Structure 1
Amino acid sequence: MTDSHSPINASYPGAENEDDCLEQQIQHLLVAVEHELRSAPAGMNELSLIKALQKPPWELLGDVVFSEPEKLYPVHFLLFHVLYRLRDQLSEAGESLTISPLNVRIEAQTVVSGEGVPDSVDALRHFYLDLSQYRLPEEAIQQMMNDFWAGAPGQAPAQSETREAAEALGFKSVPTDFPTVKKRFRRAVMHAHPDRGGKTETIQHLNQAFAVLKAHFRHSI
């Protein structure tokens, strides 16, 4: 890849062009992601999965600048592209894949064949399987991120994702009002701030959880 925002941390001498290189990277990621998820039956959040793919024996992703959306987006998109391809593969073997930034896990398939999946899930699958979305201009990426943090996704988050977001902020169940969420979020971010020994990745995880809950309450009105 020649894109300065590329997350790829590998070279493929046999690849004839950029698309070939990307496809080989995806094939390697499919193997690595499935291995990591099967090693974590309870699931992994997106940030943990990214870190696992950066480390030996994989080393398939380069450094990630979590504070810069235009550099985080290609990593996020490539990972979710792989996850949706893996989900399609697993469904043929009677397994399902829960996909959320807060928790990704392999489970036994529970949807009866022929019932299909919600339209919102299909829309996400369509988006992430379209590799043309991988190379969006920076302005488009920034707008998407602004919409996300504003709680403006097109549909309400799934109940399981909402519960996981609440747990990420330290709640035992989904709160009944948004002001309670904001108060807990501010407190959690203060404790996780790098100036207090915290990590940027932790704040990113808290941001994701807050955005999910914000979308939940937005669609509950």
Structure 2
Amino acid sequence: MNDAFDPDLELADQILLLLDAAPAGLSEYELIQQLKSGHCTHIPNLPLLDKLVLFRTHFLVFNALYRLRERLWGEQRAHLAISPLCIQLLPYRLGNAALSEHDPLRDYYLDLDNLRDTSEEDVEQLLASFWTRMNGGEEKRAALELFELDDSLQALDLVIIKRRYRQLVSQHHPDRGGSTERLQTINKAMEILERYYN
């Protein structure tokens, strides 16, 4: 989408317009790129190279997604599937208990204190905890978390994992202003996941 958004539209409504135009869904990365190309004023208008900018952009988008999901569900219009790899509007089905179950991610993203109180140091610690868990024998779970994938919520295979890997490399490659350290972490996670899903 190259047209600018109406600046009075809330972020959730801008996202809804994009998802309506993409029945197969969009990845988080695609959604953010389309919001930026539409001159969305609700997310930072900065390159996603700085870890804190990346975190804040991600948080704002997911906060809007969870609010939108509740609104669409309450209006019985649609179910919004939320995953970093595929954000998609699905038909509303009465009796689906998905929204009534406790969802820690929903709670996290709807609490704006988490946005305000997370510093660049906190983001660094999240990355560092990846390596701690790796060395502690939780390598598969740590790698999936880094890739923002969950094998209990979605059927994962190497095709899906490689697609996510390419997205992350594209975002964090040093030639595009990313950090070598982050790229090495992504490559290590891919090596681990290839062992488990090959």
Match of 1:35 in 2: 17
- 152, 156, 163: which one pairs with 1:163? 156
Structure-2 change in CA distance of 1:103 and 1:165 (3 Å): farther
Give the secondary structure class of the aligned counterpart of 2:121: helix
Give runs of aligned pairs for residues 50-89 of structure 1, distance below 5 A.
Answer: 50-56=32-38, 58-89=40-71
Q: Between Structure 1 and Structure 2, how many residues are aligned?
A: 167
Give runs of aligned pairs for residues 40-189 of structure 1, distance below 5 A.
Answer: 40-56=22-38, 58-92=40-74, 93-110=76-93, 112-113=95-96, 117-119=100-102, 122-135=103-116, 136-147=118-129, 151-152=141-142, 157-159=150-152, 161-163=154-156, 166-167=159-160, 169=162
> Cα deviations across residues 146-198 of structure 1 (Å, max 9, x unaligned)?
44685435xx8155645377425169xxxxxxxxxxxxx69x959x9575xx8
Conserved? CA contact 1:45–1:103, under 8 Å: yes
Conserved? CA contact 1:102–1:164, under 8 Å: no
Give the secondary structure class of the aligned counterpart of 2:10: helix
Indicate the RMSD between aligned Cα atoms, in angstroms. 4.2
Conserved? CA contact 2:80–2:90, under 8 Å: yes
Structure-2 change in CA distance of 1:104 and 1:113 (3 Å): closer
Uncovered stretches (5+) of structure 1, i.e. residues with no partner: 1-11, 13-23, 172-184
What's the TM-score, normalizing by structure 2?
0.64
Uncovered stretches (5+) of structure 2, i.e. residues with no partner: 1-6, 135-140
The offset of 1:96, in angstroms, is 0.9
Divergent runs of 4+, >2 A: 56-68, 113-119, 144-153, 158-168, 192-195
Structure-2 change in CA distance of 1:142 and 1:115 (3 Å): closer
> Cα deviations across residues 84-131 of structure 1 (Å, max 9, x unaligned)?
000000112241111111111110134725575554xx1100000000
Structure-2 change in CA distance of 1:88 and 1:137 (3 Å): same
Following the alignment from structure 1 to structure 2, what is the Cα–Cα distance between the partners of residues 159 and 44?
A: 21
What's the TM-score, normalizing by structure 1?
0.58
State, as a whole percentage, how many aligned pairs show the same letter.
27
Match of 2:138 in 1: none
One-letter amino acid of the counterpart of residue 37, structure 1? L
